[in-house]
Amino acid sequence: MRNFWTNGVSRAAAGPALACVLALCGPASAIEGGAPAGRDALAQATVAIGTITQPEEALRLTRCTGVLIAPDLVLTAAHCVNGDPLGALVVFFRGTEPAPPVYGARVAARYSPDPGEMLPNAAPDVSLSDLSLDLAVLRLTAPVRDRRPVPLASDPGRVPKSLRIAGAGLYGRTVGRLRTATLTPLAASSTGLTIARAKGARICFGDSGGPVVAQDRRGLYIWGVASAVISRAAPCGGYVVIAPAAQVFSATGMR
């Protein structure tokens, strides 16, 4: 878990706020508030991800969220799969509840997107160098036949007026319930990095890597994933840093 102060973001968003990377640090709770997931395209494509690492002698479990972007590919945050994980498991949902089967996965690509430059109408005091921004693509051991992948944003310069996020943490030692929340973009960069505020909800550690989506006349598309939360105290906060999805295949060459 990396903690750091971002004074520029604090003035633009929430006063003196501590920005925390959404990684495992205490209970992996999911979205607080918001709404239970339904059975729409977002809920159908969202997954819970569990990875096991062994940094020293003890095994460590990391819990995150991700989204299906191809029949055998899942997009999430790179810090969810740090430390050369021994294995990763992916679980889909039926409404709010986790549903079988469980898929195995491995890391196919991992990188830090270009933060770009803040757009002219964005908050001028935001320091991009202080923000955590990372993405990863996981390859499933078998393609998914009964779920529809969600396409990625193609134009990072056109920031949607409204966004939605989906996230799932843990309930005890099992996968938690899937919830969603509406986000209002506050600032964005030329490459699609976005800082957004959650409406009537708080984003928590278990939501790391969770899909942030928008809607246009062609349907749902992924604007990015939750990469960091801006908060006065862990584990939840009302502001989220979104890593831009438009850079995924251009950076990995996987398409």
The CATH number assigned to the domain with range 3-252 reads 2.40.10.120
pLDDT at 63: 83
pLDDT at 246: 87
For residue 243, count other CB atoms closer than 10 A to its CB: 31
pLDDT at 12: 29
Contacts of residue 195, defined as CB under 8 A and 6 or more positions apart, other chains included, come to: 9, 12, 13, 123, 126, 131, 185, 186, 187, 188, 230, 239, 240, 241, 242
Question: Alpha carbon 140 to chain centroid distance?
Answer: 18
Render pLDDT for 146-189 as a digit per residue (tens, 0 to 9).
999 999 998 888 889 999 999 986 555 556 789 999 999 998 88
CA distance 115 to 131: 9
pLDDT greater at residue 69 or residue 229:
69
Contacts of residue 105, defined as CB under 8 A and 6 or more positions apart, other chains included, come to: 49, 74, 88, 89, 90, 138, 139, 140, 141
pLDDT of 140 > 70? The answer is: yes
pLDDT at 50: 87
- Domain ranges in the chain are 3-252
- Read off the pTM: 0.83
Render pLDDT for 58-72 as a digit per residue (tens, 0 to 9).
555 678 999 999 999
Render pLDDT for 4-30 as a digit per residue (tens, 0 to 9).
222 223 222 333 333 333 333 344 567
pLDDT at 153: 93
pLDDT at 112: 79
